[in-house]
Structure 1
Amino acid sequence: MTKRLLLALLLVLLPAIQAFGHALEPGFADIRQLAPQTWQVFWRKPDVSGQPMAIALQLPDTCTPPTGPEPLFDGFAWISVWVADCPEGLADDTVTIEGLSSQRTDVLLRIQMQSGATDTIRLTPDQPSHLIPAQAGGWSIFGSYLAMGFEHILEGWDHLLFVFALLVLIRDFWRLVGAITAFTIAHSITLALAALGHLSVPGPPVEAIIALSIVFLAVEALKSNAGEIRLSERYPWLIAFAFGLLHGLGFAGALREIGLPEQDIAAALLAFNLGVEAGQLAFVGVALTAAMTLRVALPRVAAHWRTPGDITATAISYGIGTVATFWFVERVMSF
């Protein structure tokens, strides 16, 4: 009976699992000044079911042309490149992403002046336009990358499921703190190394192994017995650190898609990493608060899901493992 219920739940959630496995990538626009009145525009928008997302980069009307040619698919996203003549420049004028207000993704806008000054702005469905100031500001770059890092981890369901699996597996609070700290240190190391170009690993295998790391934690949770502490529970920071190195490569892949501003690489990298950590801590805080609320409101239910071998704890572990296995197979098949 239990297996039938789990199978039925999986069939109901399968579309959601597939959607959550791959969140929409952000769009990216790079506007680079070649001469006082000439700008080179690189515009990349996400792919949606084999078609370009219905958004368009709109330069000020004083520029010729204000929009680019039809985009070409490069295997991952849709690309347009053109050169625009803007006799009045772009300072104190507005760049808009048409159609962004009806989408569920963001666009990172990078403006590079001929002097070398760079400004990076995050455009959202609520704020699809940007008034370009006369001088670029470092704080706008920091704020944009901080927000991008925060949103990336909250949209990265595989990373969050790994953290949740740690919460399920590790019953001792201080061991849990040690594991999350080790996970943080590890993915910060590989994120920095990969983003700065010192480490390069193909993305698809990394994503597949990330899914496999979640399967491993789910299996460990299923094998856990009351009164017995497994090696993964006794030294969880070792497991968290090892897999954290892989998750950092996954974060770096997203950051490579966004790009780093040449003039503020250190600030942008720090801000993105801080945003990832803030999002991770927010998720852990919400999960622990929910667990404490459940313990007070429904103590019997809370006791069941935290008891190794109990049907509730087993169902949760099977659920985690099923989702992660689906992602693993899906990602291997996409090689």
Structure 2
Amino acid sequence: MSSEGEFVNRDYVFVVNPTGGNGRTGRDWKKLLPLLHSRLGKSWNVREALTTGPLHAIELAREAVQNGAAAVVAVGGDGTLNEVLNGFFKDGEAVHPQEIQAGPRTAIGLIPMGTGSDFARHFGWNVNDMNQAVDRLVVGNKRKMDVGRVVLVDDKVDRYFLNVASLHLSAKAGARVAKYKRLGNLSYVLGAIDAFRDHQNRNLKVRVDGGEWQAVPDVSAICIGNAKYFGGGMKITPTADPFNGKLEVVTLRDFKWYDFITKMHTLYAGSHIQLKNVSKESVSTIEVDEEMEAGRREVYVQADGEHIGFLRASFSVLPGKIDFIV
């Protein structure tokens, strides 16, 4: 961390992954920093916090929140934003300043620079327009935003997401995207094709909002959206809204490899929900498990593009849990 001393309530802390985008994020950040000082520095202390490896952004964000920073801003893609978000929580609870302070809670912001930047796409933000991003921070408008929560029951993992969580094929594809990341948005298509090579649709069971367990056969993927986009622009949960206190669940059943090729355009347009083997519903909670003997865990789970484990999993929404700079 390159800032000096502890964060205080006049600090805007920028969490930057300098190696993101094959080093492009670090180079763009160096160009952006003088602009932030000139435009934001009149009202706030501009502090930079550089990550050194996976999950480091969680630690940096948590330290900033505990020290009462005014805002923590993720500089990078959806992965960096996800880690910053998770720094706002610990052991299933929201993190609070170590000392009681007057004033609003720490806000979270985003300067999108990543390969996918799907969360920025939800708002129609231009990923390449740094002036637009700085304008948002200078104006400082905030809205109370919903947060998605994932608990992997077997591993007692507790993770949070702002964008989309998913399981099975889509989650496996996300885990394999890393091999092709240098190819930009094409990496998401190649990751999906790679995942299909050993994919088998699975019989799952789900429970919505505490109701009865229901069997769902031949599941290809289940996507749980707090926002609309994932996978480099696929409008997978097309009516999701991070301000309505609900999650949108889209279930794709009995997809074959050739379906993915012939129907890919519907995923980008959001029209896949009109297909006969696709369903959509609005929920507060959804639990998903395999209809199989215990001990064989093979169905991937991801949140905001980050692989976090395998079923069984529980997803829920925390309405208005953070203040997001829009």
* TM-score normalised by structure 2 residue count: 0.29
Q: Which has the higher strand share?
A: 2
Q: Which has the higher helix share?
A: 1
